[in-house]
Each structure stands twice: as C-alpha cells, then as structure tokens.
Structure 1
Amino acid sequence: MQALTLPLLLMLCLFVVSIATSNAKEQSKPNIIILLADDLGYGEIQHLNPEGGKIPTPNLDALAQSGITFTDAHSASSVCTPTRYALLTGRYAWRTRLQKGVLTGGESLITGDRLTLAKMLKSQGYHTNMIGKWHLGMLFDDKHDKSEHVAIGTKVTEGPIDKGGFDQFFGFHHARQMNLLIKNQQVSEKITPVQMLPRLTQAAVSYIDSRKHSKQPFFLYIPWNSPHSPVKPSKAWQGKSGLNEHADFVMQTDNSTGQVIDALRRNNLLDNTIIISSADNGSSEKTSNAPELIAKGHYPSAHLRGYKSDAWDGGHRVPFFVSWPKEIFANSTSNQLVSLNDIFTTLSDLLGVNLANDVAEDSISFLPLLIGDDNDSQKAVVRNNAIHHSISGHFAMRQGPWKLILASGSGGWSKPKKDKANTVQLYNIDSDPGEQHNLADTMAEKVTELTLLLQSQVDAGRSTPGTKQHNDVAVNIFKN
C-alpha cells in the first residue's frame, strides 16, 4: 500500500474534522414536539387555574413547571381550521379563501407553493412526522371528501404529506371522520372514535422510541383529537374526574401527554427536546357541558369571558407552555402577548433560517423570551398587537392592554350573539380581563386608532415588517 503524502494526509484530517463538526452540529439541534389539544380552554389546566380548575392535570402541570408558561397566549382563531393553518404557515387564515367557519373537505387551505413549518424544518435536516388531526382539507381518491363509503386502501391527497410537507403521517382529517385512520397517503384502518386517542398516543410513543439511536433531529407534531367531540374517553378513564365525560377526556389527554414525555425521558431525549404544548381554541360550552362543570366549581375558561367560537378571550386565549430543559429556566412565566402563529418564526430564528418576504407574514419570534435571563420584566416586548378572528368571521384587534371587537356581541355561539345597544366593543384587558365593561362609547379615538391599525395590517398582506404582500381574496373587516 502506497504511503500517504503529507498534503494528502492533511486533507484527510481536515475532511474527518469537517465530518465530525457537521455531525456535532446535526446532533446539537434540538428535537421539536408540538402538542396541540383540541377544544381545551385556558381554565382546564390546574397550573393556570388553581382555584377554579377541578380537573387533575398532573402531566401538563409538570410540563409547565419544567419550562415557561405564557399567560397571554392566543390561537389565531377561536376555531380549528384557521388556527392550524396559522400554526403551520405563520400566516392568518383569513388572508385565504376561508373567511369564516372551518373546512370539512376539498382542496387543502395550504397551497403547494406555501412554505410550511415541516418544509422549513426538513430543509434544516429534520425528520418530520405528524400524528393526529389535520383538518386543513383532504380528498379521498382525488375526487371526493366524504368518508361514508371510503374503503381501506383508498388514496389520500391534499393532506399532511403532499401539502404539509411531512415525511410521515398517522391520523385522521376531522372529528366527523374519526372512523378513518390514515397512514401517510392511504386509508389504513377503520376504527371507532373511542379508539382514536389511544392509537395516536401509541403511535407517538413508538415513534419516539424509534429515534433513540438516530443522529437526525426530529419534528413531531401531535394535534390530539381530544377533548373535542365526540367526547369518548376510554373505559379506564370514564368517571375518573367525578365531574363529567369531558373532564374525564381532559384527564386522558393529560395522560397521553405524560406518555409522550415518559418516552422522551427513557430514551434520554428529554433534555434536548423543545416541547410546545397548547390548544387550537377555547373549550366548547356545549360539548364540555360548561354549566354542569361550573355548578361543580370547574371553570373551563377560568376568569375569561366566552368559549370556543367567540371573539372574547375565552374563545382564543389558550394554555401555552414551552419546555426545553437544556436552555429554558424552569418555573418561568411570561405575561407578554404571543400567538400560535409565532411558533414558525421562533423556530426559524432558533435555527438561523432567513425567511423570504412571502413566508410567515404574521409570525413574530418570541425566542428572546425563551432564553437568557428568566426575569420576564427585563425582556423587550416582542409582539405588541395581534388580530383575533371568530367563527362567524368577526375581527378583533389587540394592542397592549386594549382590545377592539368589531362585533356587537360574542361573534360566535355564546350569548348575546348580537347586542343592539352596541356596534363595537372596547376593553382594557389589564384592568378588565373578563371583558365586562365596554368603553367604546367613551373612547372613540381609541376605537378609531385600533380600527385603522387593523385595516393597515389587512391591507399590507402582513402584520410584520417587510415587503407588502397580497391577500388571496378581498378581506372586509366590517362584517355584519
């Protein structure tokens, strides 16, 4: 064998060092898990509602205590589909064709040319997996979206693989199709709704177990089916809460979260995994049977007014915890305004990804709130305004302590849906978090100021600094 020359030996050494450095960088990237409950109100978690929360949530409480709790965090909408769109794209869904309500089927709300969170993370070397509820449009056999006669083996399009950009998918489309389990791009099984949460939990745990020896970081998005209707806790959880079935289902959701965390711990992955836990909107007053819960001392929306669907904070202020034992101080709290659509830019900021002007137009990084000094009062404000949206398409504008609602009532299902005495609502959230004292008549200038701010962000096609973008359709902020 011919002896290596000195230059060749040096080149070989540099190559080895380069590979080692590259592997070290790859391994140093944190794993990322996003847990998204379905219809879980701000007051459902005892950590957030110690006096008025009667449902035991030990795993979510422990997760919150292991990292940072955001007390003023909001979903992008008070219902499902638009929140999920904003989380995965960093863009408000009312900029698309979906101006109110949710999707049930058809083509995905996410267009093929839209950069998603999964696509961005894949470009940074992540393996991406989604386990749970999609609810962003889906077709079976490329031609219909009805599940009644769909056979096992049917091809699925417009879903997490082709439109979301995920490497893997195991789950279902939406609550009325919880009889169909989909694996990647094919219907794989027919099950009953009560089986869904255990199957999703099992799949999530198995996936984490499979990553134990992998050097590739992973992104695991787990949008649970629970505690959304059909409210179907497993037999082992029925009656556990002593309150009602919804409360039992919340307890089971908490247990599923605990199983995911236990899997990370036993595989020595917990320390360098970012876990984000939140919900798509507030509790449903109807399916949670909120009056029954309140009579027993449990307040699903805590001190907030309203429920799922509403423009009031009970519709869209949600539990929001971020844990990363390697970097985030335990038992931290932030009172700063944040939104679920901010997850996109926060993670791109963390990984040093420069986003194009037409990406994540409504996403603001809250990375400075996660790392460094754990004193929230010493940290600069990262977001001073946010736009809220109700199921009926009514807009609300939040800036600092002020909140303007361009609706006379709830904007959703809660009563009063309309209030003849008011055309708009203005609240000081700091002094009146329950939104009981409408100041619109006495503070007309503030109403005008917030209306103009809202209109400017709608017209700009973005709510962040950057080149003007375009909404997909015309957007009217003054809905009747």
Structure 2
Amino acid sequence: MNRPLLALASLFSLVIGAVSAPAADKPNIIFILCDDLGSGDVKCFNPEGKIATPHMDRLAKEGVKFTDAHSGSSVCTPTRYGVMTGRYAWRSKLQSGVLGGLSPRLVEQGRLTVANLLKEQGYSTHCVGKWHLGMDWVRKGEVAELNIESADQVNNVDYTKPITNGPTSVGFDTYFGISASLDMVPYCFIENDHVTANPTETMKLEMNAAGGRKSFTREGPGAPGFRGEDVLPALTERAKKIIAEKAAAAAKGSPFFIYLPLNSPHTPILPSEKWVGKSGISLYADFVMETDDAIGQVMRATEEAGIGQDTLIIVTSDNGCSPSADYPKLAAAGHNPSAIYRGHKADIFDGGHRVPFIVRWPAKVRGGQTSTQLVCLTDFMATAADIVGAKLPDNAAEDSFSFLPALLGESGQTTRKSVIHHSINGSFALREGDWKLELCAGSGGWSDPRPGSPGEKGLPDTQLYHLKDDIAEKNNLQSSEPAVVTKMTAELEKIIADGRSTPGAAQKNAVDVLVRKPTPAAKGKKKAK
C-alpha cells in the first residue's frame, strides 16, 4: 500500500474506532438489494398483489416492515452509490442516467464507504452480485467517462488484465459478481480483480427456448458458456458459501458483512428453467418468485449455521419496477408492480423510488412491526455506524440518518424529516411530511408525461402534492399553495448548497448541481455548489 493510502486507512481507523460497540453487540449484516423490484411486487406490502413472495413475507413477520422507504434515485447506479457512501449520488459527477459495465469507478478515491466502516470495526466484508458503480478496466484507447458504452469502447478493453478500483478497493475483502446489469457488456463473472473466464465470444440479442426470452440486449463480449439464467443461482450459492465459511468465526465474535446486490428481477427477464411458469402470470412474475426464493435460501443459510439470531438482514430494491416487465400481462392478472403509487422506474413519482424495505434482527428487534418512519437507502451507513458504535466524520455519510431507533421501537425518535428524490433525467423532488415538491413538469423519467413530450407541453414547471390526501399524485396544488412551494424550494436549494442534509460542517459537491433541468418549461434555472 502506498503512503497516502496507508495514511488514509490509518485516519479511517482512528476516526471510526473512536467509539466502538462490544463484539457481542455487533451482528452479522446482510444487505440484499433486489434490482427493479416494485413496491407492489411483494405481497406483504401489497395484499392485492398476485405474485407469491413467502420468504419476504416471513422476513417481515419476523422483523420490521418500513412502508415509507425510498431509494436514493429512481435508477440503479445512483442508488448504489448512496447505499455504499451514505451520500446522494447527485452530489457526485453523475448527474443523470446510469453507468455502463465498462465505466470507470464512480466512488471517489478516499471516500469512506460502509464496507470501510465495518471492516475497521472487525468485520470481514464481502460483495456478491451486480456492482454497477464502475471499475477501471485496462484500456487500449480513449473511453467516454460515464455513458453506456459504444461499440468502439467495448472493443478497446484488455480483459486478460487485472481490473482496478472495483469493490475490493472500497473496503470489501472479496468480490464475486457482474460489473453491471445483464443487458450490459461484458457478459462474464468477475472474481475480486479479474474475469473468471475471458469474454472471447460475441453475445447477440437472441431468443431462448423458454417463452421467447431475450438473453442479452446489447451486443458485446461474453465468456464461453455464460448464461443470464445462471447468474441469480450463482450469486445465491456464493452468498451461502460465505455464510457457511464465516459462521464459526461469527459465533466467536468476528462478524461478517455481505452486500448482496442481486441481478433480478431486472431485464433481461431470465428465470431459471425450473422457475419458468411457476407464477402462472408471466416470466417477470416467475423471476420475482425466484428472487424471493433466493432470499429464503440466504435466510435459511444463517439459521442452519446457527447464527440466524445474531444476523441482521435487510431486503430492499434499488428503485421501482421497470416498464419492460411486461405490464400488460401483469395487469391482465390484476397485478400492479407499483401498487397504489404513480409511475415506475426512472420517474420522479413515488412509483419510481418508493421501495419495499424489510429488516430482521431477531436478537435485538421485535418481529411483526410496521414502521411509517421516512427512510432512504442512504440511511444504511449511519444505521450501521449506530449499531456498531462508530462515529462518522463530517466528510462522510452526508445524507445518512440512522433508523436504528425505529428498529428498536423507540417512539418519538424520528431521525429523518425529509428526503430528496432524483429521476433518471436529473429532476429533483423534496418530500417533507405529507408534502412532495417536484421541480419538473412531467415524470422526469419514462412514464407519461415524459420530458420533452407533447403531453408535458403547457404543464406547470412545478408540481406539489399532498400525499396524505393524494397518494397517487393526481392533484397538483402548486398554484393554490405558493407559500409551500416557495418554502420547500428554498429548503431543497439549501440542502444542495450545504453539501449535506445531516447536521455537521458544510461540504462540497463534486460539481455544480442544477436545481432544475435546463428545459424550455423550466424557467429560472438556479445553481448551487
């Protein structure tokens, strides 16, 4: 390790280790992040839902179900950045959209992550799954920094060389998974800092035998024999293996942390052969059921290893369900992945970012609870610090509030009072109490009215909804409640300008942040640093 990195590691150790919980009070932690699982796809959150999810339902019965939980963004990469850092991703250089499978590292050098935090507290740390936060591949030429790759970029990577700045550079002892979504190159597994098999074949859009499933949606390099159907089972088996290997040490006071970002039920919708047709609804519903089963297997692995009581399991999703999930078939069966909420993945509406969120920790948390506490996935880092008794420095987890009081049933101990939402095109919203302010004319995403569409023309450039009376966001009150709009806009601008939403010294955003997208409908563009 070079001197700057060694000094940085020592600093982390001093700051984080200043206060520490006894080893016996440090649970094993498994954070399971489903991909594009809608809030209405989980039966315990949507009794009207038509997809069976017995394992998530059991988890909720034995833990706490949060009904007002939100991803940091309505798309995946920025949400993952928030989970890892406790910071809204729009404070980074990524202001809209997502990364590709070959994009460079997004998490800044020197930034404290939840993996760093727990490692300094004596945890062994493991990442298993879809990373989608960038890593540095050896290039043969120039490459665009953030966008999904062009054919030229795909073909100038030397896949035989070690990868740098991946998960093992931000605090994880081990990594096994895929670089991004299964519709992004390269189509291969990665172990720590190298591909497990060189992607020497060209994968194309093709149809599989089981119901006309699409295997890949972007042509590019793949490893021989690599199949999308095999990814979820492989990730599940690897997580179970780590649990089995670390159980003995965990029982003696050396806990582990597994970050398990699944590839499912994101497109391409590829349930394993044995799950095809199980739902009787659609392949997407089959894939949700297989995802639920994978979660059940992880739960059972902790119980069979004798560490179920002392293992904290979180299950959630990175954003709402994608419109590519074959909504017509789901609707025909009476199923809505967004339940009662408007919109879906990519949108500023609640269907884009309101997600299922379940926490089980038998040793400390009473089961069967339902919490209405406002939660954002950025809150995982502060909660982990709270659990292990670590103090976070001012320049870390700037948008992370601990939800441990809600887990422990401490009434009146509300920590988060507002949350900022962000859509795929970079539109902002502020939620505070029952009010939700949206600084865009339409969805900011993929549902109607889409940005720049004829349906958006002529609409007010601001939306204000009172969610207690209008959870479906149908009645825009911006014209009748100008004082609320003014007050909430100022609050949003201040949170952006301060570089943090938590108490502490002001911090800097990586770039100037546009409060409003520069569209003809959005008047009075403002900037905050």
The TM-score, its normalising length taken from structure 1, stands at 0.91
Name the SS for the 2:36 alignment partner. Answer: coil
Q: Report the residue type matching 2:172 in the other structure.
A: F
> Does the residue aligned with 1:213 lie in a helix, a strand or coil?
helix
Deviations 1:320-369 (A, max 9, x none): 00100011111101111110000100110111111111010000111111
- Once the two structures are TM-superposed, the CA of residue 107 in structure 1 deviates from its matched residue by 2.1
Partner of 1:89 in structure 2? Answer: 85
Q: Which residue of 2 aligns with 1:172?
A: 178
1:53-452 equivalence runs, <5 A = 53-104=49-100, 105-141=102-138, 153-162=160-169, 164-175=170-181, 176-177=184-185, 179-189=187-197, 190=223, 191-214=226-249, 215=252, 216-285=254-323, 287-373=324-410, 378-417=411-450, 418-452=456-490
SS at match of 1:432: coil
Percentage of matched positions with identical amino acids: 47
For 2:106 and 2:338, the matched residues in 1 are separated by: 29
Identify if the C-alpha distance between structure 1 residues 133 and 108 changes in structure 2 by more than 3 Å, giving closer, same or farther.
same
- Alignment-derived partner of residue 21 in structure 1: none
The one-letter code of the counterpart of 1:307 is: H
Q: Which runs of 5+ in 1 are unaligned?
A: 1-23
* 1:473–1:151 CA distance, 2 compared to 1 (3 A): closer
One-letter identity of the residue aligned with 2:194: Q
TM-aligned CA deviation for residue 192 of structure 1: 1.4
Q: Name the CA shift for 1:419/1:60 in 2 (closer, same or farther; >3 Å).
A: farther
CA separation of 1:266/1:147 partners in 2, compared to 1, >3 Å: closer, same or farther?
farther
User: Contact 1:304–1:433 at 8 Å: present in 2 too?
Assistant: yes
What is the alpha-carbon distance in structure 1 between the residues aligned to residue 457 and residue 300 of structure 2? Answer: 49
Moved more, 187-196 or 393-402: 187-196
| CA shift in 2, pair 1:419/1:65, >3 Å | farther
Deviations 1:359-413 (A, max 9, x none): 100001111111145xxxx333211111000000000011110000001010001
Larger mean CA deviation between 99-108 and 193-202 belongs to 99-108
Alignment of 1:29-68 (within 5 A): 29-51=26-48, 53-68=49-64
> Does the 8 Å CA contact 1:274/1:323 hold for their aligned counterparts?
yes
Q: 1:310 and 1:125, CA in 2 relative to 1: closer, same or farther beyond 3 A?
A: same
Deviation at 1:27, TM superposition (A): 4.2
Q: Could you tell me how far apart the structure 2 residues matched to 1:139 and 1:444 are?
A: 47
Distance in 1, matches of 2:349 and 2:403, equals 24
Alpha-carbon shift at residue 295 of structure 1 (Å)? 2.0
Aligned residue pairs total 450
1:292 deviates by 2.2
Whether the 8 Å CA contact 1:42–1:302 is kept in 2: the answer is: yes
User: Using the alignment, how far apart are the partners of 2:300 and 2:389 within structure 1?
Assistant: 30
Query: 2-side partners of 1:207 and 1:142: how far apart?
Result: 32
Residue 154 of structure 1: CA displacement? 3.5
Q: Partner of 2:504 in structure 1?
A: 466
The CA RMSD over aligned residues, in Å, is 1.6
In structure 1, distance between residues paired with 2:36 and 2:128: 17
1:454 aligned onto 2:492 = yes
Cα deviation per residue 1:301-323 (whole Å; 9 max; x = unaligned)? 00000000000000000000010
What amino acid sits opposite 1:406 in the alignment? L
CA distance in 2, matches of 1:149, 1:186: 17
Q: Flag the 1:41–1:372 CA change in 2: closer, same or farther, 3 A.
A: closer
Aligned-partner Cα distance in 1 for 2:107–2:127: 16
The CA deviation at 1:149 is: 8.1
Q: Is the 8 A contact 1:345 1:364 kept in 2?
A: yes
How many Å separate the matches in 2 of 1:422 and 1:280?
Answer: 29
Runs of 4+ in 1 over 3 A off after TM superposition: 142-154
8 A Cα contact 2:338 2:351, kept in partner: yes
SS at match of 1:35: strand
Secondary structure of residue in 2 paired with 1:407? coil
**Secondary structure of the corresponding residue to residue 311 of structure 1:** coil
Q: 1:147 to 1:133 in 2, by over 3 A?
A: farther
Name structure 2 gaps, 5 residues minimum. 1-20, 144-148, 198-222, 451-455, 520-529
> What is the distance in 1 between the residues matched to 2:292 and 2:491?
39
Q: Whose Rg is larger?
A: 1
How much has 1:147 moved relative to structure 2? 5.6
Q: 2: distance between equivalents of 1:244 and 1:179? A: 25
Residue 196 of structure 1 deviates from its aligned partner by: 0.6
Q: Are the structure 2 counterparts of residues 147 and 256 from structure 1 closer, same or farther at C-alpha, using a change threshold of 3 Å?
A: farther
Q: Which amino acid aligns with 1:211?
A: K
2:168 aligned partner, one-letter code: I
Are the aligned partners of 1:178 and 1:196 in contact in 2 as well (CA < 8 Å)? no
- What residue identity is the alignment partner of 1:411? G
2-structure distance, mates of 1:28, 1:72: 28
SS at match of 1:130: strand
Using the TM superposition, give the Cα deviation of residue 476 of structure 1 relative to its aligned residue in structure 2, in angstroms: 1.0
Shift in Å, 1:140: 2.2
